[in-house]
Amino acid sequence: MAIVTIKGLNFEPYISREEIQKQVLRVAQEIRRDYENNELPPVFVCVLNGSFIFAADLFRAVNLEHSEITFIRFKSYEGTSSTGEITQVMGLAENITGRDVIIVEDIVDTGVTAKALRAILRAKNPKSMKMATLLYKPASLTTGEVPEYVGFEIPSRFILGYGLDLDGEARSLPDIYVKVD
Ligand code: IMP
Ligand code: MG
């Protein structure tokens, strides 16, 4: 795999599609184990846009009968750093009151999005709420919003591919790339 250039910045291969699938399956097994004996199946809440590819793979791999998925949309990033402010662009159509909710995020960086999201969803009175994220940058976390299910813990470097973008670009790359310093 070669270097890719997006918006004038160089990115090198970081996590291969094979490694991604391996960790998606591992996280899916953890979720299945934790929810398979529940009376009501969980509702996955996919946080658009970045999480849609991970959510599609995870949801299928968990494969719990009668589980549901719904979508919410936020915007917090501009360029390669968090703006620290999040804007809700699209709300939740489904009712999650009394349900076990699994929030699906692509990446937890500062945790500002995770915190705001949990507050918004908590107001709808779910029975429980956990977060599954493909990637987690523990050194960047400023909010104490530690995700319950994590694919990869990574250092605080900017990455893209497999749904993650730079100003809307590079989401379709099957592997994950990291910015070359
Ligand atoms: P947080 O609110 O700082 O935790 O950031 C969460 C959101 O910022 C994620 O859902 C991503 O959309 C975006 N983000 C954080 N780090 C990266 C990265 O390294 N690459 C691409 N997007 C990122
Ligand atoms: Mg996101």
Distance 125 CA to ligand 1 centre (A): 26
Distance 90 CA to ligand 2 centre (A): 13
Instruction: Check residue 84 and give its pLDDT.
Output: 63
Render 110-125 in DSSP notation, one character per residue. Answer: SSHHHHHHHHHHHTT-
Instruction: Check residue 86 and give its pLDDT.
Output: 73
**Domains with residue ranges and CATH for the chain:** 4-179 (3.40.50.2020)
Q: Which residue has the tokens 């429980």?
A: 128
Closest Cα to atom 5, ligand 1: which residue?
109
Closest approach atom of ligand 1 to CA 113 = 2
Distance 41 CA to ligand 2 centre (A): 25
Is the beta carbon of 59 within 6 A of some atom in ligand 1?
no
Is the beta carbon of 57 within 6 A of some atom in ligand 1?
no
Instruction: Check residue 88 and give its pLDDT.
Output: 73
Which residues, 6+ apart, have CB-to-CB distance to 72 below 8 Å?
A: 45, 46, 47, 48, 88, 90, 91, 92, 117, 120
Nearest bound ligand to the CA of residue 112: 1
pTM greater than the 0.75 cutoff: yes
Q: Is 109 a catalytic residue?
A: yes
What pLDDT tens digit does each residue of the chain (181 aa) get? 699 999 999 999 999 999 999 999 999 999 999 999 998 999 999 999 999 999 999 999 999 999 999 999 877 666 676 666 677 777 787 889 999 999 999 999 999 889 988 998 999 999 999 999 999 999 999 998 899 999 999 999 999 999 999 999 999 999 999 999 8
Probe target for ligand 1 pocket from 12, 51, 75, 76, with the most ligand atoms within 8 Å of CB? 76
Instruction: Check residue 47 and give its pLDDT.
Output: 92
Give the CA distances from residue 43 to residues 76, 87, 121, 125, in Å, rounded to whole numbers and listed in that order.
24, 23, 12, 13
Instruction: Check residue 78 and give its pLDDT.
Output: 63
